[in-house]
Amino acid sequence: MQRAVSYLVVLAIGLAGGSYARAHGPLSSRAHAAEQPALAANPQVVEAIEAAAKPPARAASLGTPGLVGTNVIADLVERADPAVVNIDTIARAERDPFFEQFEDSPGGPSQGEEERGVGSGFIVDPGGLIVTNNHVVRGATDIKVTTASGQSYRGKVIGADPMNDLALVRVNAKGLPFLKFAASTEHVRVGDWVVAIGSPLGLSHTVSVGIISAMNRGISLNERVNFLQTDAAINPGNSGGPLLNIQGEVVGVNTAIAARGQGIGFAIPCWTAMNVIGQLKATGHVERTWLGVSIRGLNRDGGGVMVVGVAQGGPAASAGLRPGDVIVAIDQRPVKTDRDLLTYLNDKRSGTQVQLTVEREGKRAGLGVTLQAAPTMQKK
């Protein structure tokens, strides 16, 4: 028995998943036509309507601030779409407790049932490297990658990071068009226009447009990632596809939606994706850094996290951190919750030194800690 799914994590952030919103068409042309005789009676109104109907001048450059007019989105899509791929998978269904809360149906797939899925991805190297979500290819026994031109390839996962929900797939091809990640956080701001391209519900190379609605958004899917929130329409099947800025750079990897919300989607930010993909390309796995402490949040003004345990021989112990210390900042960034600390460390590599600001017996002090690779790769 086969079960077909379109991949996108439907979040249960206090929300139920699995239902699709109905699409409503535009206002009928008949209604507009009925209004025109009254408008035509006023020459000034007619002149204003005709002026508004004229297309705006084409923007000289996609990078020109504030200009998102005729042809800008279309030109962007024309350049970027050839590097976006459709990913079809066949897998033997397994019960994964982590994803059970996101299943489309209460029962979910049966153990051993063949499951056909569809997701999205994008090429990041002309030699055939493709980025997608881990949950798109997780457990797949067969992966088919189809480009915008209709060419199909067999894909192979060469590295995956379940914790960040990213995977790197290779196909046997050369000279493929590819996309670049935005260079830094400075290229991503709340209010920026963004374009999503993917295969929602299997409808390959569908384009939607919106803005970055929020940054550093914490969701139940992953406490270690600060997601981008967007109102660009994404649906099951968009998972793994790119979220592009107006320059055509990848600012995020589309990953999840809020089931009961409208225009609430989430993407893994480019700075996290670049770090993960770089490691997957080099070694096939992602190194986890280790501070060597157990912590708990504090219910107090200003926040902070209390150190409740220090691992013997770990980085924190070597730096002199003690149980009872309260971490209030890391590299001069405020630490109000344990998540603030986890997400900051998530993008760091072993050997990196971080500066902790701690409170101890009513006084503040700075401690330099050199991060180490975690002793185990197991997910907490």
Q: Which numeric CATH code is attached to 185-283?
A: 2.40.10.10
Listed in order, the ranges of the chain carrying CATH 2.30.42.10 are 289-373
β-strands 114-125, 129-132 pairing: antiparallel
> Residue 194 burial (CB < 10 Å; 0-12/13-18/19+)?
buried
Between the alpha carbon of residue 52 and those of residues 39, 40, 46, 55, 254, the distances in Å are 14, 15, 10, 8, 35
CA dihedral 94, 98, 101, 107 (to 10 degrees): 20
pLDDT tens digits for the chain (380 residues)?
Answer: 455 556 566 655 432 222 223 233 333 333 333 333 333 344 554 454 354 444 434 333 334 444 556 688 999 999 999 999 999 999 876 655 555 544 444 445 555 678 889 999 999 999 999 999 999 999 999 999 999 999 999 999 999 999 899 999 999 999 999 999 998 767 789 999 999 999 998 898 999 999 999 998 877 767 778 899 999 999 889 999 999 999 999 999 999 888 777 889 999 999 999 999 999 999 998 888 888 899 988 888 888 999 999 999 899 999 999 999 999 999 999 998 888 888 888 878 888 899 999 999 889 999 999 998 888 644 43
**Partners of 212 in beta bridges:** 230
Q: Provide the whole-model pTM.
A: 0.71
First to last CA, the chain: 34
Q: How far apart are CA 203 and CA 195, in angstroms?
A: 16
DSSP 145: E
Collapsing DSSP to helix, strand or coil, 39 comes out as helix
Q: Which residue has the tokens 């924190």?
A: 316
Listed in order, the ranges of the chain carrying CATH 2.40.10.10 are 2-16+82-171, 185-283
Which residues participate in catalysis according to the annotation? 135, 165, 239
- Topology of the domain comprising 2-16+82-171: Thrombin, subunit H (2.40.10)
Is the Cβ–Cβ distance between 139 and 193 less than 8 Å?
Answer: no
Q: What pLDDT shows up at residue 259? A: 77
| Sign for the pseudo-dihedral over CA of 130, 131, 136, 141 | positive
CATH of the structural domain 289-373, one choice from 3.30.1540.10, 2.30.42.10, 1.10.3720.10, 2.160.10.10? 2.30.42.10
